[in-house]
């Protein structure tokens, strides 16, 4: 009797929501565990340069949210984060749009595919970081070289994701659309491209991860601002808590951008909604 | 699933095929086979089954009728017009329902009229009525992945019927369903066709299905496909799945098998 009642009570809570809460709880617990381990290790080591405590790091992070580092001619954490974010957004959006266009053109035209495929195949496995000195020579150490770097990192990934996703659209969906009376253009936009959207977004998520790697590296090699630049500066002055602060900022921003893309994916693909 | 009743009435169209030929050079994909001179007439309002071994070109023939691919030579006429491409006058039901996964049942059904700029309040009323007919009124806002196999097929029916096609082309549409759902869908199709005049060309490799559904069964030969013979079923309508045990039914099946094995 009591068992039945208990089962009924549990079943009354919608299954997916219960899972979501449990997952969020587990996630928070695992993060807390890492912080506790960090704090313990820092206390055992007892040297703020090697490993500052969590509390030290947090107080440094909070201080440099509004204070500049270095004090003269420096920037705050927030300013640096905005600089990096702007570079990522510009390069990522331009690269994604170009990749979308190139991938679509390759899917639509045999000639474009045969021309572009070898070029993309050669460029794709190259680490974008290898191009930093070249872009500095070409575009200087200003914004152009950073945006170009991200652009050329994002482009091949989104191109291949778009091409793959368009190729994978079943002929039947296109046929269904045409035989229901839709024009070829409408079918291309509303069925073929639409069916490819989830695959394209997944490609964009992968490209976004690479974009952060590229931008931080570029900012460490040739820049006067950005989170990468700040981390390098902090390292030069043995400001370990600030290094951790910069890394924490990258983590939060990376998580936020991926969350945005995941949200987009959920909106585009009803099958991943639950 | 209530008994189908529809206000949308189509005028059934006749089909005329003369010496239709098709060959595929290289890269022949599975399920696509050559046709070697097909002659076939389907009367307006007739239920014709295309039966043959796999690779005989029955799906190719259906694709030619639908306008997805063109014949190398020969005459393909639906109604009074030669087929030049796909169109809403010929409804197609595929081996899988091919619903658009990002649209709800309701949006899927309205896709055709909306694409053609023909979405009027009257069409919406008709769509609601159609969903009622196919038993999906409650699943109107569900996405395809939330529907069962049979429900998806019925949604695909509604999506095609909203266009009032005079000809329905069906390519082994129930092949992937379990036996019970399949019997239910066959019954649903017969009810629908009984009440609403439509020409149906139904591709199958199942002798029993062809016998149960068709007025006539056109048997295609092994590749390259040609028409071997057209068998009149001649069983009384309405037919029910229970009739498959009767002597007359078994006799009809035997006649088809004889042609197949010839």
ipTM: 0.90
Chain B residues close to A172, C-beta within 8 Å: 94-96, 98
- DSSP secondary structure code for residue B79 in this structure: T
Query: CA dist B71 to A13, B18, B82, B214, B230, Å?
Result: 58, 11, 11, 25, 21
- Residue B179 makes CB contacts below 8 A (sequence gap 6+) with none
Q: How far is A251 from chain B (nearest CA, A)?
A: 32
Range A123-140 average pLDDT: 90
pLDDT at residue A141 tops 90? no
- Residue B241 contacts A where some CB pair is shorter than 8 Å: no
Chain A residues close to B90, C-beta within 8 Å: 179
Range A187-191 average pLDDT: 94
Task: Kindly report the CATH class assigned to B12-82+166-227+256-262.
Answer: alpha beta
Q: In what order do the strands lie in the sheet with B15-22?
A: B35-42, B15-22, B73-78, B81-82
Optimal mutation site among A165, A177, A180, interface B, most CBs of chain B within 10 A: A180
Choose among B85, B102, B111: nearest Cβ to A180.
B111
Which class for B165: exposed (0-12), middle (13-18), buried (19 or more C-beta within 10 A)?
A: buried
User: Confidence class of residue A92 from pLDDT cuts 50, 70 and 90?
Assistant: very high
pLDDT for A93:
97
Q: How far is B241 from chain A (nearest CA, A)?
A: 30
Angle at CA A230, nearest 5°, toward A226 and A234?
175
B98 and A181: CB-CB below 8 Å? no
A175 and B159: CB-CB below 8 Å? no
pLDDT for B1:
46
A269 and B163: CB-CB below 8 Å? no
Evaluate whether A166 touches A193 at the Cβ level (below 8 Å): yes
Choose among A176, A179, A182: nearest Cβ to B90.
A179
Angle at CA B62, nearest 5°, toward B57 and B64?
95
Q: Are strands B90-93 and B167-171 parallel, antiparallel or unpaired?
A: parallel
Which class for B78: exposed (0-12), middle (13-18), buried (19 or more C-beta within 10 A)?
A: buried
Chain A residues close to B91, C-beta within 8 Å: 179
Per-residue pLDDT of chain B (262 residues; tens, 9 = 90+): 444 445 556 789 999 999 999 887 655 554 456 888 889 999 999 999 999 887 788 889 999 999 999 999 999 999 989 999 999 999 999 999 999 999 999 999 999 999 999 999 999 999 999 999 899 999 999 999 999 999 999 999 999 999 999 999 999 999 888 989 899 999 999 998 988 789 999 999 999 999 999 999 999 887 666 777 888 998 988 888 888 889 999 999 999 999 988 8
Evaluate whether A206 touches A213 at the Cβ level (below 8 Å): no
**Mean residue pLDDT across chain A:** 89
B86 and A179: CB-CB below 8 Å? yes
B68 and A181: CB-CB below 8 Å? no
- Residue A195 contacts B where some CB pair is shorter than 8 Å: yes
Which class for A86: exposed (0-12), middle (13-18), buried (19 or more C-beta within 10 A)?
A: middle
Range A154-167 average pLDDT: 96
For residue B59, whether the previous peptide bond is cis, meaning omega lies within 30 degrees of 0, is: no
CA atoms within 13 A on the CB side of B233: 26
Provide the token pair at A184. 């070829």
Helix (H) or strand (E) holding A3: helix A2-12
pLDDT for A6:
39
User: Confidence class of residue A156 from pLDDT cuts 50, 70 and 90?
Assistant: very high
User: Confidence class of residue A18 from pLDDT cuts 50, 70 and 90?
Assistant: confident
pLDDT for B194:
86
Provide the token pair at B2. 């209530």
User: Confidence class of residue A4 from pLDDT cuts 50, 70 and 90?
Assistant: very low
B111 and A173: CB-CB below 8 Å? no
pLDDT at residue A8 tops 50? no
Give the residue extent of every domain in chain B: 12-82+166-227+256-262, 96-164
Choose among A170, A179, A197: nearest Cβ to B66.
A179
A180 and B98: CB-CB below 8 Å? no
Q: How far is B9 from chain A (nearest CA, A)?
A: 17
Nearest CA in chain B to A190: B115
User: Confidence class of residue A3 from pLDDT cuts 50, 70 and 90?
Assistant: very low
The 10s digit of each residue's pLDDT in A210-228 is: 999 999 999 998 888 999 9
Chain B residues close to A270, C-beta within 8 Å: 101-102, 143, 145
Chain B residues close to A180, C-beta within 8 Å: 88, 111-112, 115, 159-160, 163
% of chain A beyond a pLDDT of 70: 93
Q: pTM of the predicted model, to two decimals?
A: 0.83
**How many inter-chain contacts (A to B, CB under 8 Å) are there?**
71
């Amino acid at each position: 009797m009591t068992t039945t009642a208990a089962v009924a009570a549990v079943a009354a809570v919608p299954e997916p929501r219960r899972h979501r809460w449990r997952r969020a709880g587990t996630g928070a617990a695992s993060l807390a565990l890492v912080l506790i381990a960090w704090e313990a290790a820092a206390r055992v080591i007892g040297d703020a340069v090697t490993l500052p405590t969590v509390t030290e790091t947090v107080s440094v992070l909070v201080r440099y949210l509004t204070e500049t580092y270095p004090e003269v001619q420096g920037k705050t954490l927030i300013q640096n984060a905005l600089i990096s974010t702007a570079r990522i957004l510009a390069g990522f959006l331009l690269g994604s749009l170009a990749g979308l266009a190139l991938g679509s053109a390759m899917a639509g035209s045999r000639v474009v595919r045969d021309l572009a495929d070898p070029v993309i195949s050669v460029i794709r496995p190259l680490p974008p970081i290898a191009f930093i000195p070249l872009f500095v020579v070409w575009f200087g150490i200003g914004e152009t070289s950073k945006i170009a770097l991200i652009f050329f990192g994002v482009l091949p990934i989104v191109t291949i994701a778009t091409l793959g996703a368009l190729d994978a659209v079943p002929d039947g969906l296109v046929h269904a659309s045409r035989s229901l009376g839709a024009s070829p253009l409408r079918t291309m936009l509303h069925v073929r491209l639409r069916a490819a959207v989830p695959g394209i977004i997944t490609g964009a998520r992968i490209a976004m991860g690479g974009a952060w790697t590229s931008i931080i590296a570029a900012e460490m090699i040739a820049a006067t601002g950005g989170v990468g630049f700040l981390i390098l500066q902090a390292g030069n002055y043995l400001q370990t808590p600030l290094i951790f602060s910069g890394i924490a900022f990258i983590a939060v921003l990376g998580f936020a951008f991926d969350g945005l893309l995941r949200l987009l994916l959920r909106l585009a693909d009803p099958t991943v909604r639950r | 699933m209530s008994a189908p009743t529809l206000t949308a009435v189509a005028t059934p169209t006749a089909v005329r095929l003369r010496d239709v030929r098709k060959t595929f050079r290289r890269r022949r994909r599975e399920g696509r086979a050559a046709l070697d001179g097909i002659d076939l007439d389907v009367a307006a309002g007739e239920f014709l089954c295309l039966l043959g071994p796999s690779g005989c070109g029955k799906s190719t023939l259906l694709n030619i009728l639908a306008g997805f691919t063109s014949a190398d030579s020969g005459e393909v006429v639906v109604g009074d017009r030669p087929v030049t491409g796909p169109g809403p006058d010929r409804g197609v039901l595929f081996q899988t329902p091919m619903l658009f996964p990002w649209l709800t049942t309701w949006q899927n059904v309205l896709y055709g009229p909306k694409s053609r700029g023909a979405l009027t309040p009257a069409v919406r009323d008709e769509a609601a009525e159609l969903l009622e007919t196919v038993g999906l009124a409650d699943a109107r806002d569900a996405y395809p992945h939330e529907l069962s196999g049979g429900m998806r097929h019925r949604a695909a029916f509604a999506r095609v019927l909203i266009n009032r096609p005079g000809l329905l082309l069906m390519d082994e549409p129930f092949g992937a369903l379990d036996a019970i759902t399949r019997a239910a869908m066959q019954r649903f199709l017969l009810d629908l066709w009984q009440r609403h005049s439509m020409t149906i060309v139904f591709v199958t490799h199942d002798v029993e299905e062809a016998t149960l559904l068709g007025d006539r069964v056109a048997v295609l030969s092994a590749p390259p496909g040609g028409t071997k013979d057209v068998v009149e079923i001649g069983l009384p309508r309405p037919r029910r799945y229970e009739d498959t045990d009767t002597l007359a039914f078994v006799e009809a099946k035997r006649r088809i098998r004889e042609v197949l094995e010839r």
